[in-house]
Structure formats: C-alpha cells, structure tokens
C-alpha cells in the first residue's frame, strides 16, 4: 500500500485522455469494419463523412475532457471513457442494422442517435460543472420524490401519453417521444439516498426472527411496503414490467447498503415474487410475457401475434455467432424485430460472438464497480448511498435487459444503457455519468483536515471547514437539517484518517 498525500497524488487525467483516445479509436475501427463488411465492393474504402465525424467527435470529447480536467480534476478516469466506448459501439451497431433497413426501403435512425449522443456528452459535462457539491442534492429529497412520481405518471395523462406494444410508457411532446421513467430513476435514487441516510438507524433495528429471517420492526416496515405497492401499481397501470422491477430492485439494494441487513434482500425478493405472481394471474398482458418466456419454442406461442418470434430470432442469431461471431457487417441481425433497441444485445452476439459480448459486459462491470468504489471512498452517508444507487441502476438495467434477451427472465422492453437506440435512456445515462464524475472527484480528492499545515485544495467539497460553510449557507428555516448535516460531516470526518490510503 502507498500513502497518497497532496504532493504525490495523481489526478488520473492523463489516463483518462489515453483511455478516451483508445475508446474513440476502437469505435472508429469498428465503423470501418462494418462499412466494409456489408459489401465486398467497399473493401479498402472508408465510410462517407468518416473524417468529419471523427474530427467532430474527437473535438467534442476533447473539450469535455478539458472542462472535467479544469473543474473536477480528481474525478475517476474510467467513467467518461467507458461511456464513450459503449455509446460508440452502440452507434456502430445501429448503423450496421440501418444498412439492412435501407435495403428494404425503411428509414434509418443512426443520424438522430448520433446527435443525441453529442447532446448526452454536453449534458454530462454540464451536470459535472453545475453540481459543485453533491451533498446539496440532499436538500431536495422530497422534491425528488414528487418529481419522480410526476414523471412516472405522465404516460397516463390523456393527450400526451401513448401505448406501444401493450405498455403505456411513452409521452409525445411537440412531436418528440420520450420515456419519462428513465429520468425518474435519477430522482428516485436521490430520494432513496436522502430518506435512507436519515432513517438508517431505525431501519437497521431488528425485530422478531422467523425461519432464520431477521424481520424489521413493524413501524419501520412501512416504507418497503409503500415502495412495493407503488411498483405494483405502476406495473398494473402502465403494464411496464421492466420499470417496476428496476425501481423496486434499486430501492431494496439501497436499503441493504444503508442497513447491511441481508433480511431486507430476502423480504424484498419474496414481496417481488408474490406481487408478480398475483399480477400474472389477473393481467393477460403480463401473463403473455411469461408464456413467451416459458414456452418460446412452442409453435402456438411462436406464431401468435406479439408471440415469441422476436426473442427466438435473437436466439438464432446468437447461436449462429458462436464464440467469435460472424464478423462486423457479415451477419443478419436486421432479420430480428427491434434489433437496434430491445434486441441489440442479440445483434452484438451474432456479429462479435460470446467473447465480444463478454468484453462489452466487462465494461459495464467496470462502470458499476467504479461507482461502488466511489461510494466506498466518499466521506458522507448521502453520497455513499447515491453513488451506490446510481451504480446499481446501471447494473440492474443491464441484468434485466440481458436476462430478457438470453431467456433468464421474461423480456421486459427496457433499453440497455448506452448501446440501444433510444434518446430517453441515452441522455439519462449520460447525466448519471456526470453525477458520478462529480462525486468521484469528491471521493478521490486527498483529504486535508483543518489542522493540517498544508494548504487546502481549491474547491474541495470534503473538508470540515467547507462542510461548516455549507451548513452556514442554509436558510434559517432549515436549521434542523443543517444541524443534522453538520453532525454527519463531523462524524464522518472523525471516522477517516488524515491521509487517504489507496
């Protein structure tokens, strides 16, 4: 182990620049392979507007890197390059499927997705620059609950909400479609973090022990039941199995982080099983999803309208890809419905094989692990819960999507982060990267106590002096909350040594 001091610490910005260069290079190379792979006549040629796209992308990424280097110099160097790599590979596969759509006379979507990717990088940078101190988000704990609930219920509003393939999860505003549940997950993560950090002692209190499960006390069991009922209502009204599973899983995971009690995971799993079983019995749409999952290869299920044809075609594609794939541009992923969105994992599996898919999911694993590392390094309880919650949100969504495509769980219709076509998920996940960049800057910044003779780093959000300043800046009518934040800052400061050991 080495002791990190102010003079010897490394910010990681040069590593970030190197990884960004590598990520962009991999995406451009994949684009060339797709362009040449779809037609033998294009061998040795570059895609149209290749240098323009490469120059604009490189310039935008470089500007974002410089701004992060300036305002968040201690940020984790993994988040930004990993998001660039995943987004770039998603654009490559979307264009590859566009070639198949164009051959059938259908419209292409890669240009719009590329514009949304650029907007996503801008939103990430703006989030990291505007949020000077992640602890300020704790002041909007209950506002976040209200905003998240409103966003979640917007698809039910007549006139703007619309249904697609049985699920009512979209809204139309000024000609644009948006899935508000994607943005709602950020607000719910903020609410869960703010609520759990103030109630963690109560929630950790143990009640009776039944069948080896340590039950919580009755009066503290209410929040879990409310969260469970809310998710079941969402599932019943909007017929959105994926969103309900994501939100309840996120809440239970953050509850476990706050209390460190395995009993919450067991209780949450049992409640999920009971709720889903009940809704499967009374809702034909959800029951059809489970029939497709359990009997996908039955002839009646395969040939039915909205039957298992889609998922089975994805399985055939992945099977033809084998270990190493058919090669970029040389498979037939366009034969599958929604191959660039719901089934983009199957599209990658066909053309880059199991080995390529494992490499992609390793990048997701790296993203989630760095978010958990950020949570461990942060010196305030709210930040720990929020960073872990955002990491769990990405990880759970990957599991739900990949599990649905491979048949582990029913197909839900959620979009895998960064890769899949769809602006709602892409923009939201880039905002999450911006939040993680800001929090990782606070987590990795060397901690210098007020009594240290060394000068404090500029803009450090983690020193006790600034924690006191944050409290002093609060309005007078928030004295109770200010006192609570000050006590938490002092407690966390006493818990950590003068120097950070990494």
Domain positions in the chain are 134-444
pLDDT greater than 50 at residue 468 = no
Please report which confidence band the pLDDT of residue 5 belongs to, taking 50, 70 and 90 as the band edges.
Answer: very low
Query: What pLDDT band is residue 45 in, cutting at 50, 70 and 90?
Result: confident
pLDDT at residue 326, as a whole number: 92
Name the residue among 415, 151, 410 with its Cα closest to residue 283: 410
Which run of H or E residues covers position 237? helix 222-238
Of the CA atoms within 13 Å of residue 493, those in its CB half-sphere come to 19
Burial profile 36-48: b = 16 or more Cβ within 10 angstroms, e = fewer: bbbeeeeeeeebe
- 325 against 5, higher pLDDT: 325
Query: What is the pLDDT, as a whole number, of residue 378?
Result: 92
Q: What is the pLDDT of residues 482-493, one digit of tens each?
A: 444 444 544 444
Q: Across the chain, what does the average pLDDT equal? A: 81
Which is more confident, 500 or 291?
291
Residue 428, Cα to own-chain centre: how many angstroms? 8
On the question of pLDDT at 466 being above 70, the answer is no
CA angle in degrees (0–180, nearest 5) for 441-443-448: 100
Quick one: angle between helices 141-153 and 180-204, nearest 10? Answer: 140
Query: What is the distance between the alpha carbons of residues 453 and 211, in angstroms, rounded to a whole number?
Result: 56
pLDDT surpasses 80 at 264: no
Q: Is residue 78's pLDDT more than 70? A: yes
Residue 177 token pair: 């479609």
Give the pLDDT of residue 461: 44
Q: Is pLDDT at 469 greater than 80 in this prediction?
A: no
Other beta carbons less than 10 A from residue 72's beta carbon: 26
Q: Is the model's pLDDT at 108 over the cut of 70?
A: yes
Question: The whole model's pTM is what?
Answer: 0.85
DSSP for 78-122 reads: SHHHHHHHHHHHHHHHHHHHHHHHHHTT----HHHHHHHHHHHHH
Predicted confidence (pLDDT) per residue in 150-182, tens digit: 888 888 887 787 776 666 777 877 767 788 888
With 90 as the cut, is the pLDDT of residue 464 above it? no
pLDDT at 245: 81
pLDDT score of 292 more than 70: yes
Lookup: tokens for 64: 């974002």
Give the pLDDT of residue 478: 39
Task: Using pLDDT thresholds of 50, 70 and 90, give the confidence band for residue 462.
Answer: very low
pLDDT by residue (tens digit) across 375-421? 999 988 999 999 999 999 999 999 999 999 998 988 887 889 999 99
Residue 444's nearest CA partner among 361, 388, 500, 384 is: 500
What residues contact 49, with CB distance under 8 A and at least 6 apart? none
7-11, 122-126, 331-335: the lowest-pLDDT one: 7-11
pLDDT reading at 249 higher than 80: yes
Q: Phi/psi zone of residue 69: left (φ > 0), alpha (ψ -120 to 50 degrees), beta?
A: alpha
Predicted pLDDT of residue 315: 93
Residue 483: enclosing H or E segment and its boundaries?
helix 479-495
Let me know how long the chain is.
502
Strand partners, 164: 167
| More confident position, 254 or 85 | 85
Q: Is the pLDDT of residue 470 over 60?
A: no
Three-state secondary structure call for residue 168: strand
Token pair 């003079």 is found at 7
**Mean pLDDT of all residues in 63-78:** 93
Cα separation, 464 vs 466, in Å, equals 5
Q: Does 422 have pLDDT greater than 90?
A: no
Question: In this predicted model, which residue has the larger pLDDT, 198 or 81?
Answer: 81
Scan for tokens 């928030």, then name that residue.
478
Average pLDDT over residues 245-272: 81
pLDDT-derived band at 84 (thresholds 50, 70, 90) equals very high
- Mean pLDDT, range 350-358, rounded to an integer: 94
Q: Which two tokens stand for residue 196?
A: 């759990």
Of 147-161, 344-358, 443-457, 481-495, which range is least confident? 481-495
CA dist., res. 16 & res. 80, Å (int): 8
pLDDT band at 267 (very low <50, low <70, confident <90, very high): confident
Q: In this predicted model, which residue has the larger pLDDT, 37 or 122?
A: 122
pLDDT at residue 88, rounded to an integer? 96
């Amino acid at each position: 182990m080495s002791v990190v001091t102010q003079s010897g610490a490394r910010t990681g910005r040069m590593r970030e620049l190197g990884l960004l260069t590598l990520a962009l290079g991999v995406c451009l190379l994949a684009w060339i392979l797709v362009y040449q792979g779809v037609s033998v006549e294009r061998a040795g040629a570059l895609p149209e507007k290749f240098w323009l796209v490469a120059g604009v992308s490189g310039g935008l990424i470089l500007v974002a890197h410089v701004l992060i280097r300036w305002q968040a110099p201690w940020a984790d160097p993994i988040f930004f390059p990993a998001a660039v790599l995943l987004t770039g590979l998603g654009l490559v596969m979307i264009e590859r499927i566009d070639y198949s759509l164009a051959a059938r006379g259908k419209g292409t979507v890669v240009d719009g997705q590329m514009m949304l990717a650029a907007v996503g990088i801008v939103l990430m940078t703006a989030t990291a620059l505007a949020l000077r101190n992640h602890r300020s988000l704790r002041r909007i704990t209950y506002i976040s609950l209200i905003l998240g609930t409103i966003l979640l219920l917007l698809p039910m509003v007549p006139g703007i909400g619309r249904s697609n393939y049985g699920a009512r999860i979209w809204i139309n505003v000024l000609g644009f479609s948006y899935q508000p549940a994607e943005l709602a997950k950020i607000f719910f993560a903020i609410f869960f973090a703010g609520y759990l950090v103030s109630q963690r002692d109560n929630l950790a209190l143990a009640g009776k022990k039944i069948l080896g499960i340590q039950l919580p006390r009755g009066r503290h069991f209410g929040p879990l039941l409310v969260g469970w009922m809310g998710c079941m209502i969402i599932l019943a009204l909007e017929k959105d199995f994926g969103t309900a599973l994501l939100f309840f899983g996120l809440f239970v995971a953050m509850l476990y982080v706050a209390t460190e009690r395995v009993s919450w995971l067991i209780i949450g799993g049992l409640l999920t099983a009971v709720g889903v079983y009940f809704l499967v019995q009374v809702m034909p749409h959800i029951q059809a999803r489970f029939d497709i999952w359990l009997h996908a290869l039955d002839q009646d299920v395969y040939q039915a309208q909205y039957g298992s044809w889609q998922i089975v075609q994805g399985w055939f594609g992945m099977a033809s890809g084998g270990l190493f794939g058919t090669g970029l541009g040389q498979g037939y992923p366009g034969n599958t419905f929604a191959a660039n969105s719901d089934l983009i994992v199957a599209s990658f599996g066909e053309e880059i094989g199991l080995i390529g898919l494992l490499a992609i999911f390793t990048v997701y694993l790296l993203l989630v692990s760095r978010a958990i590392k950020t949570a461990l390094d942060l010196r305030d309880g709210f930040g720990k819960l929020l960073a872990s919650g955002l990491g769990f949100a990405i990880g759970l969504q990957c599991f739900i999507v990949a599990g649905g495509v491979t048949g582990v769980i029913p197909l839900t219709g959620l979009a895998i982060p960064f890769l899949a076509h769809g602006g709602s998920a892409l923009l939201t996940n880039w905002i999450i990267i911006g939040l993680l960049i800001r929090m990782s800057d606070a987590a990795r910044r060397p901690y210098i106590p007020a009594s240290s003779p060394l000068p404090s780093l500029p803009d450090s959000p983690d020193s006790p002096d600034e924690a006191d300043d944050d409290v002093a800046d609060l309005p007078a009518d928030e004295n109770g909350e200010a006192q609570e934040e000050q006590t938490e800052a002092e407690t966390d400061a006493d818990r950590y040594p003068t120097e950070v050991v990494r």
